[in-house]
Amino acid sequence: MKKALITGIAAFALATAAGVGAVLGTTGQAAQESASLPCVQAAVLRQGSQGGEVKEVQRRLKQWGYYNGSIDGIYGAKTVEAVKKFQRKNGLTADGIAGKSTYEALGMNESAKALEGNKGTSGNKGNSGSSSYTNSDLYLLAKCIYAEARGESYTGQVAVGAVILNRVASSAFPNSIAGVIYQQHAFTAVSDGQINLEPDKTAMNAASDAMNGWDPTYGCIYYYNPAVATSSWIFGRKTVTTIGKHVFAI
């Protein structure tokens, strides 16, 4: 069972492989004051590490042309070689290990700060479930909220984050934020590339509130926009609540 320093983990469900989940409008909502960010425990990453932090390292390396493997959250040989190449390019010791200096060079400043504050902490993140979520997890959750629900109210954005987290907590889905979001065909925003958009402050606040236990969906693991959903399967799920354009179901 995942031990997180975040209370009230919930889950996100966008439809299934049948294509549930809709691309929403682009009008953002006014940012609200956020709750304090969850506690972060970054790890020194090396071959064999897993989780959201690894995924974020892979994403950044791939974006900049150092890595051509899958963004799967597994620190394998290809990731090691990509990190070494990045380290050499940036004047760092090319040992293939992502520590404080490498985090800083990658622009993962919060992870670097957390690592400095948690010296001696190492090991895997996420999938094995022995530690808290990281700032990389928070950022990825905010990206998905922004991509999927930036046209919704603030509560509607928190609700989408809650569904993602509820999926993480459910044994029926991957047990990491990255695993849920990147599950094949799960999210329209991943399929059409909108997941790569930069989240705004509202989305970051919504992700933080969801991680801190606010679940406007009351435990839902699915949501869909009935105006555009094409899967008859999703309409058979039990509706719990409707927020904006989204129906939330279990």
pLDDT for 78: 95
pLDDT for 30: 30
b/e sequence 90-112, b meaning 16+ C-beta within 10 Å:
eebeeebbbbbebbbbbebebbb
DSSP tally for the chain: helices H, then strands E:
9, 3
Q: Sketch out the chain's domains with CATH numbers.
A: 52-117 (1.10.101.10), 135-249 (1.10.10.2520)
b/e sequence 160-186, b meaning 16+ C-beta within 10 Å:
bbbbbbbbbbbeebbbbbbbbbbbeeb
pLDDT for 132: 66
Sequential pLDDT tens for the chain (250 residues): 333 333 333 333 333 333 333 333 322 333 333 333 343 445 788 888 888 788 889 988 998 899 999 999 899 999 999 999 999 988 889 999 998 889 888 888 777 777 776 543 333 333 233 236 788 899 999 999 999 999 999 999 999 999 999 999 998 999 899 999 998 888 889 989 999 999 999 999 999 988 888 889 999 999 999 888 767 788 888 999 999 999 999 9
pLDDT for 214: 87
